[in-house]
A and B are shown apart, each in its own frame.
Chain A
């Protein structure tokens, strides 16, 4: 397994970055967070359909591009770099669950629509769900309908279709049949909502025996993409800070000439270098079905979460007064980084999960 990026991945990165630079510069992101529509549906359509991001990990025979989660992780990195307001994470987790369900014999029509970007399906789970959590019992299914409430769900506000795990199955529910209540969130670019189902019509995707593997696959893929996203967030913060420190002068010198700042940024660069290696390794393991995947994912999350937070905090601090203002994009990254550090389990939760995996009991 290589930890480097392939030429194909670099091409994909360029295509995504070009699109984001054009359609979603930070000024546009900042303008959007004040408005009514949190997500950018046109941007998501362009990414999902035109660039083909929705179907990267889906086999060609199911209408996907037959690439893998490695390529999807490259996309996640770029989306993190741009704090792009698109439902990539929630959609990818739904795709991972659907792929596992299809492996178990579920009909594949829905997956084909998702891969084409025609349907945006989002997995319904609390974003803060820690690793190794069993399928929650907050929603129950009976007679082809689901009932219950799930709080703090990411990306559901942008979904056409909700993929709902219950202890006895995996269900597809039209978003129009659920009640979505938007919450005011710390992260302005990945919105959360509470999702309530009141005997909402539900089509079965997986049964009692197969929902658990679907759930685990989704959590694992989510953690891999989140780690990649955190690498992107951290890299943007470092680049922006370095650029600022080269031009900002105080006491007659560029402030980047002072060791008090230089050394902190050097350390941050080292940490990001390690984060990239860890995130690449996790993406590779999940793609290859490597038995080391659980360890790789826990390591990636335990390391990348705090690195992204540190990068964003340093970005705010080293921009000085302007870094604390609404007009500067640093706060978008800080809010994303801190939320992402809680999403799918904090670093401490992942360290605890890791301890069990590598036989270091507490």
Chain B
């Protein structure tokens, strides 16, 4: 499948389907035509085409005024659940989950982090116990975006406490409507609750919702985590998109705010944003040829610092206006809309960027160890049965 052939397929699809008609019917048909994620296999929304051709397909649909699948709302499904299901799921699971995931009919969330397992995710304590064809899951998850709207969650839980921590984990798809699943909003420093706490109390999941082998959950989860970092840091973006665009617009519109010291500070940030963008572009070219590797960590690492520096600069640039905040009302947003919030919100929200999806410190370890080959951290717990670890 090459670019001209793909272009032709998109053209024929658009000729045969009414972009202004029923939204869901259109999205389902696009999936069935293999034009959803073109790198996926035939029958699962793709055509086995090179990943690099995806932007062109998306652009063609956008240009035709076609409805999209609200990618920001279903980012966890698209960026994390889907690649994991594709790689580790059974045929039945791929059939069942991928289509409604892509069309946005079913929203996904990620049940990974726990109060006692953040950076050390593999130490997680949520238990899954097998009873015949079912599993009974009990535990607590945190930092769960979209849990309140999600139909499914990707879940990792401990199925064998008698072996070292990485070996006793199994990966499941959690039915968020199952009895015993309780979602509570978790208010953040921004005042809103983008995340949730999820309490799992004797939740029964059929064994058909297990993804991968029993005890192989850590390996499956690594697929999710690698894709998460790429999803967070490696998006396609034009120049001056993101926070630098907001600050640049303010600078242009408001000459009275400018000082010479801030001018060079602004230009430093502008350059930093531009080189991060170019590095992201180069990374995507590399990914088009293969799988996400540790380089995705670099993009996420750079993005976190950049957002924090730019949003901090923006507040000081604004001076007295930076002393105010738009609204502390507790809300549960579906999409992080920092563009339309006050600078104070951007400043506070950006603090999460170096924590979510792997802290910057952990990412620095990953780069140092996997890219540069420096000696690994001392790990005293890797050979100790999980149940014997101090908690």
Which residues of A come within 8 Å of B, CB atoms?
2-4, 238, 242, 245-246, 253-254, 256-257, 259, 262-263, 265-267, 269-270, 273-278, 280-281, 299, 302-303, 348, 351-352, 354-355, 358-362
Question: What residues of chain B lie closer than 8 Å to A274, measured between beta carbons?
Answer: 275-276, 278-279, 302
**Once bound together, how far apart are the Cα atoms of A216 and B179, in whole Å?**
71
Q: Judging by beta carbons under 8 Å apart, are B282 and A4 in contact? A: yes
CB-nearest residue of chain A relative to B301? A270
Residues of B within 8 A of A238 (CB): 372
Q: Which residue of A lies closest to B372 (CB)?
A: A242
The 8 sampled A-B contact pairs (Cβ below 8 Å) are: A246-B374, A262-B372, A267-B364, A270-B302, A278-B274, A351-B271, A354-B267, A355-B267
The total of Cβ contacts below 8 Å across the A-B interface reads 122
* Partner pick for B278 among A4, A278, A355, A359, CB 8 A cutoff: A278
Q: How far is A275 from B274 in the complex, measured between Cα atoms in Å?
A: 11
B171 at the interface (CB under 8 A from A): no
- Are A348 and B375 also in contact (CB < 8 A) when A274-B275, A274-B302, A303-B275 are? no
Closest 3 A/B residue pairs (Cβ): A257-B375, A351-B267, A262-B368
The segment out of B121-129, B258-266, B309-317 that lies at the interface is B258-266
- In the complex, what residues of B have CB within 8 A of residue A257's CB? 374-378
Answer yes or no: B295 CB below 8 A from chain A CBs: yes
Q: Is B365 an interface residue (CB 8 A)?
A: yes
Give B269-301 interface residues, CB cut-off 8 Å to A: 270-272, 274-276, 278-279, 281-282, 285-286, 295, 298, 301
A245-B374, A254-B375 provided; 12 other pairs, C-beta below 8 A?
A: A2-B285, A242-B373, A246-B373, A246-B374, A257-B378, A275-B275, A276-B282, A277-B278, A277-B281, A278-B279, A358-B248, A360-B248
Tell me, rounded to whole Å, the shortest Cβ–Cβ distance linking B114 to chain A.
Answer: 24
CA–CA, A354 and B301, complex, Å: 25
Is there contact, CB below 8 Å, between A263 and B251? Answer: no
In the assembled complex, the CB of B302 is this many whole angstroms from the nearest CB of chain A, namely 6
Contact indicator A273/B374 (Cβ below 8 Å): no
Find residues 337-391 in chain B having any chain A CB closer than 8 Å to their own CB: 361, 363-365, 367-369, 371-378
Q: Is the CB of A3 within 8 A of B278?
A: yes
Residue in A246, A277, A360 whose beta carbon sits within 8 Å of that of B270 in the complex: A360
CA distance A262 to B370 in the complex (A): 12
Contact B275 A278, beta carbon cutoff 8 Å = yes
Q: Report B-chain residues with C-beta under 8 Å of the C-beta of A254.
A: 374-375
Inter-chain CA distance A286–B292, complex, in Å, is 30
- A136–B301 alpha-carbon span in the complex (Å): 44
Among B252, B368, B378: residue with most chain A CB under 10 A: B368
Q: Which residues of A contact B377 (CB under 8 A)?
A: 257, 259
Main secondary structure of the interface of B (DSSP, over half): helix
Interface size class of B (residues with CB under 8 A): 35 or more
Q: Which residues of B contact A242 (CB under 8 A)?
A: 372-374
Cα-based distance from A357 to B286 in the complex (angstroms): 30
Chain B residues with Cβ under 8 A from A351's Cβ?
264, 267-268, 270-271
Q: Which residue of B lies closest to A242 (CB)?
A: B372
The residue of chain A having its C-beta at the shortest distance from the C-beta of B369 within the complex is: A262
Q: Among A265, A278, A303, A361, which residue has its beta carbon within 8 angstroms of that of B368?
A: A265
Judging by beta carbons under 8 Å apart, are B364 and A262 in contact?
yes
List of A residues within 8 angstroms of B375 by Cβ: 246, 253-254, 256-257
Contact A265 B281 (CB under 8 A): no
* Nearest Cβ on chain A to B56's Cβ, whole angstroms: 15
Contacts of A267 in B (CB 8 A): 301, 364
**Are the C-beta atoms of B281 and A266 separated by less than 8 Å?**
no
One of B264, B286, B298 near A269 (C-beta < 8 A): B298
Name the CB-closest residue of B to A348: B264
Q: Which residues of A contact B281 (CB under 8 A)?
A: 3, 277
Most buried by A among B264, B279, B373: B279
Contacting A at CB under 8 A, from B139-173, are none
- Nearest Cβ in chain A — how far from B145, in angstroms? 26
For the complex, give the distance between the alpha carbons of A132 and B248 in Å.
23
Most buried by B among A2, A263, A280: A263
Q: Tell which of A265, A270, A299 touches B274, judged by Cβ atoms closer than 8 Å.
A: A299
Contact of A269 with B371 in the complex, beta carbons under 8 Å: yes
A-side contacts of B272, CB under 8 Å: 303
Q: Tell me the bound Cα distance from A266 to B267 in angstroms.
A: 24
Question: Which of A256, A269, A359 is most buried by chain B, counting CB atoms within 10 A of its CB?
Answer: A269
A266 contact set on B, CB distance < 8 A: 301, 363-365, 367-368, 371-372
| Cβ of B229 to closest chain A Cβ, rounded Å | 13
Q: How far, in angstroms, from A348 to B278 measured CA to CA in the complex?
A: 20
Instruction: Report the minimal beta-carbon distance from A287 to chain B, rounded to whole angstroms.
Output: 16
Please give the distance in Å from A258's CB to the nearest CB on chain B: 9
How many whole Å from B101's CB to the nearest CB in chain A?
Answer: 32
B374 partner residues in chain A, CB cutoff 8 A = 242, 245-246, 254, 256-257, 262, 265
Q: Which residues of A contact B279 (CB under 8 A)?
A: 273-274, 276-278
Whether the pair A354, B271 counts as a contact (CB closer than 8 A) is yes
The CA-CA distance from A276 to B377 in the complex, in Å, is: 29
Instruction: Give chain B residues whose Cβ lies under 8 Å from the Cβ of A269.
Output: 298, 367, 371-372
Contact A263-B263, Cβ < 8 Å, known A3-B281, A274-B302, A360-B251 = no
